[in-house]
Structure 1
């Protein structure tokens, strides 16, 4: 995977008690922790592996409002403001640049969907608009893709996953928060019907509130507590190029590729049209909930029955707090790269923008995404476990909204006025 930049030295020992424990040192968990510590609320972040080592450090780095559901856009707008303020809050450049995102298409059906989305979000004043072929050529010169049109949002942007989590973590520590790596949370402890602490592999920490921001692992953690969260895994393979001259600063998504400029001068590229969907026992349990998505995205995923199915089949779904858990057996989920999909993306991109003929692959990696049936996250308190708030299920587009999602989770956990209306993210929709 991408090396994370300037990771801080985390706290070595767990505290005996704190006010809020955050489970997961990804973009949402660290954003929640930074929000809390800035409000004077003691917080300890626990991670079974390392800061930002899973999907928060492996994603494409897009910060977008485009193509989100209208109900999800306010969270993305709030995230834009928080990304812009990140250098002042963290003292570091996270690579955030409001350089715009463009989606291009050769399909009239897809163009009609873009136009429908523009109508749906018109009251939100995003500045998004449909582009003609000549406008696409002006914005991203040198193309030979034969696009019939596109959808452009100039206020969208990008940031650097390899830098953002490290910057947030340094800020949390500098402002008095605690972060403990290589410390898996096994379960919660309760008293008088509410959360009273977390049970970790190193011992128990007493606390008033817990925020679960464990990404792919949230379904398993909640399942052990008897809380149902529908989520299935997808794997996205990514490559980055060595520094090169490219066509533009704008990030571009085509039917079978996407690219965005990096702060190091290279480009991050992926096969936007296809992802890997490793079959798991959960597909048998949850598959019917995903049929509407599968019907509309035929060919967008390629499934396989392999080692991941067996690993999941043999992995515990319930355990007691004194036992070693799946979180300790897999500290960092590091799925294999699908080199074929990366090659497809680069070949398609070279046909569309020949300047990428000179692209040289510097690194490749893959990340595992947790996807909900409607592709929107869950950011909500758990009614049956007072004191537990969940921020998870971001479905591959959580990096962009991560700062706002974390703040919203912190608001819900502490009873503050919510950053945005949390109704779209409630458990009850499932």
Structure 2
């Protein structure tokens, strides 16, 4: 299920014969890139197989953070902070952006040591992150009944509302000249003389000079069809939203086995931060070895299962022709069922820590697919095997927060202009 609060967009269905840039994927990264290019008067057409923000861009937690990111990934997060803050002026709409601060809690001294090590690793970046004592945690988030070893807090981290952000940005992109076409699946990338020349969609071909693939968890399948191996694996995150209630703080808080953040409607977004569902697919068996280091440190977070999902995935095509039905028409929107047991675990753990959540009532729950790379950093780079193709995908569950900057960077690469930050950490070749 998807969140019932998602704002929908109505787009044109008339497809132009040609444009300068085609963007595949209507999540926050693709939409941000379209907005950036439209502002530069670059002709751009964004094609989405389902509807704008139908998958992870509306199903994430809405956190916008620098805390605990890889050192190389922090500059993108810093750039995103500025873009989020300026977005209401840029597009004429509030997206719920609030620098409420984000706090991660430590139950043990070992967990506290992890926070301390991260803070030392980013010391030269001069962030406002700081370690908290147990008393400071209690002062910032009063009413708790659990003893914490401490925590780490970044006041400039924040949140925005995934159910409206990408849609509002898409409306602004259209107003500034971008063309967005929903319910139109791309079947193949077409080339001429070894160079991108267009895309074959279910409704015909669009010619173009440059292409950006921002297809999230679907990017691996489209690239695989063109003999480019992108190592990403799917994980499923389940989320719940409560009805309006009085909570202990406006700060977004991540504990070892729960997280919560205030929602604009007065409730709270809650998840089991210590668990993700890993439904085994053929891809897990073929490229899982690339994830051995991640498994060594994070296997306790994974709830692994093998069964129906494996066979459902096997039935999805890996090869097809441009005049044949593609996987992207078979499944317009990836819509995994939420794991209600995980959500209940999270709420139980949260109630044990802050009794104020005893009054929490479920309003809705949903789940989304996260596309994870072996090092948990995305790919934002040109694809040398297919000149003219740029890739922006593999955001590993934290793409919403950096989405405006990631889309901006992708637009810079597509247009061959000075990049907003150094793209080197996101090169494809590292994988």
The two structures have a TM-score, normalised by structure 1, of 0.99
Uncovered stretches (5+) of structure 2, i.e. residues with no partner: none
Taking the aligned partners of 1:360 and 1:329, their CA distance within structure 2 comes to: 36
- C-alpha deviation, 1:5, in angstroms: 4.4
* Correspondences of 1:22-171 after superposition (within 5 Å): 22-171=23-172
State how far apart, in whole Å, the 2-side matches of 1:302 and 1:279 are: 10
What is the SS of the residue equivalent to 2:294?
A: helix
Secondary structure of the 2:111 match is helix
Separation of aligned partners in 1, 2:299 and 2:368: 21
Q: Give the Cα separation in 2 of the matches to 1:313 and 1:362.
A: 34
Question: What's the counterpart of residue 234 of structure 2?
Answer: 233
Count residues with an aligned counterpart.
430
Shift of 1:298: 2.7
Shift of 1:4: 4.7
- Structure 1 position 345 matched with structure 2 position 346: yes
Distance in 1 (alpha carbons) for counterparts of 2:5 and 2:221: 26
Change (3 A) 1:6 1:304: closer
Do 2:3 and 2:58's aligned partners in 1 also have CA atoms closer than 8 Å? yes
Residue equivalent to 1:15: 16
Q: CA deviation at 1:44?
A: 0.8
Shift of 1:8: 2.8
**CA deviation after TM superposition for structure 1 residue 321, in Å:** 1.0
Q: Secondary structure at the match of 1:72?
A: helix
The answer as to 2:290 corresponding to 1:293 is no
Counterpart residue number, 1:396: 397
Q: CA deviation at 1:35?
A: 0.2
Matched residues in 1 for 2:151 and 2:171: separation? 39
Alignment partners' CA distance in 2, 1:110 and 1:67 = 12
> Structure 1 residue 7: deviation in Å?
2.5
**What's 2:221 paired with?**
220
1:294 is paired with a residue whose SS is: helix
Secondary structure of the structure 2 residue equivalent to 1:297: helix
Partner Cα distance (1:157, 1:322) in 2? 46
Residue 324 (structure 1) shift: 0.6
Q: Kindly indicate whether the alpha-carbon contact (under 8 Å) linking 2:51 and 2:182 is maintained by their aligned counterparts in 1.
A: yes
* 1:201 equivalent in structure 2: 202
Question: Who is 1:375 aligned against?
Answer: 376
**1:245-264 counterparts in 2 under 5 A?**
245-264=246-265
CA–CA distance in 2 between the matches of 1:163 and 1:411? 25
Q: Within 2, Cα distance between the matches of 1:187 and 1:373?
A: 26
Q: Is the 8 A contact 1:101 1:157 kept in 2?
A: yes
Q: 2 CA distance for matches of 1:322 and 1:298?
A: 42
- Measure, in 1, the Cα distance between the counterparts of 2:200 and 2:318: 17
> CA shift at 1:406, angstroms?
0.4
Contact 1:4 1:166 in 2 (8 A): no
SS of 2:71's partner is coil
CA contact (8 A) 1:195 1:209 kept: yes
Partner of residue 314, structure 2: 313
Alpha-carbon distance change, 6 to 113 in structure 1, aligned in 2, over 3 angstroms: closer
Q: Is the 1:19–1:42 contact (alpha carbons within 8 Å) kept by the matching residues of 2?
A: yes
Q: 1:17-54 deviations in whole A, cap 9, x for unaligned?
A: 11111100000000000000000101111010010000
Q: Deviations over 1:202-249 (max 9, x none)?
A: 000011111000000000000011111001110000000011111111
1:331 aligns with 2:343: no
For 2:298 and 2:189, how far apart are their aligned partners in 1?
Answer: 38
Q: Does 135-144 or 4-13 show the bigger shift?
A: 4-13
* 1:33 and 1:172 in contact (8 A); partners too: yes
CA gap of 1:5–1:54, structure 2 versus 1, over 3 A, is closer
Alignment partners' CA distance in 2, 1:289 and 1:52: 29
User: How many angstroms apart in 2 are the aligned matches of 1:395 and 1:53?
Assistant: 17
8 Å Cα contact 2:115-2:152 kept in structure 1: yes
Query: Retained in 2: the 8 A contact 1:257–1:270?
Result: yes
Offset, 1:12: 1.3
Structure 1: tracts of 5 or more residues without a match: none
- Give the CA deviation at 1:299: 1.9
Deviation digits for residues 254-298 of structure 1 (CA, Å, limit 9, x no counterpart): 010000001111100000000100000011111111111111113
Task: Check the 8 A contact 2:24/2:214 in 1, yes or no.
Answer: yes
Q: Distance in 1 between matches of 2:263 and 2:71?
A: 29
> By how many angstroms is 1:13 displaced?
1.3
Please report how far the alpha carbon of residue 109 of structure 1 lies from its aligned counterpart in structure 2 after TM superposition: 1.0
Q: For the aligned residues, what is the CA RMSD?
A: 0.8
Residue 311 of structure 1, CA deviation? 1.5
**Residue aligning to 1:281:** 282
TM-score by length of 2: 0.99
Give the Cα separation in 1 of the matches to 2:308 and 2:335.
Answer: 13
